[in-house]
Amino acid sequence: MINRPYLINFPKISDDRGNLTFIQNPDHVPFEIQRVYWIYDVPSGQTRGGHAFKTQEEIIITLSGSVEIYTSDGITEESITLNRPYVGLHVPKMTWRQLRNFSTNTVIMILSSDPFNEEDYIRDYSQFSTIR
Ligand code: TYD
């Protein structure tokens, strides 16, 4: 299956003062970043996501803490735990995602290929599986 989610390792510069990671166009991300947002203060037991995008691609990075990312292209389901600030999960377009099992104080940053557009969301799983 093409267009499955995959992990990207970003540069990690370590010295006595700690670690530094950076992302620079066009070296590390397979699209031009149009938007960055972040999610934090997620109450225990809450989930995020629960949708797919028609055209938008994203990269999810856990800056702090840990979160489980469930993805499905309508056929193949995958689940991965993200807990390293130098690793991103590329989530292709037309991929259902749910973010769950946030540990306390988790902060995730999402890089997006497009500006925000509610029209790009598919929030109904049965609709997603029909047009998939
Ligand atoms: P949503 O994408 O549903 O959050 P998540 O997928 O993380 O659970 O977005 C929540 C709300 O925030 C929704 O009303 C749309 C709004 N929003 C923006 O206005 N701009 C943005 O860039 C994003 C990501 C969301």
- Residue 16: its pLDDT value, please? 98
- Residue 1: its pLDDT value, please? 45
> Among all residues, which ones are annotated catalytic?
51
DSSP class per residue in 65-83? S-EEEEEESSS-EEEEEE-
pLDDT tens profile 7-29: 999 999 999 999 999 999 999 99
* pLDDT at residue 132 is higher than 90: no
* pLDDT at residue 41 is higher than 80: yes
**Atom of ligand 1 minimally distant from the CA of 110:** 24
- Quick one: 126 exposed, middle or buried, by C-beta within 10 A (0-12, 13-18, 19+)? exposed
- Residue 3: its pLDDT value, please? 84
Pocket test for ligand 1, best of 37, 46, 112 (most atoms within 8 A of CB): 37
Distance from Cα 48 to the centre of ligand 1, integer Å: 9
Peptide bond into 115 cis (omega under 30): no
Residue 2 pLDDT class (50, 70, 90 cuts): low
Once rounded to an integer, what is the mean pLDDT over residues 61-67? 98
Question: Has this prediction a pTM greater than 0.75?
Answer: yes
Q: What CATH number was assigned to the domain covering residues 6-10+29-131?
A: 2.60.120.10
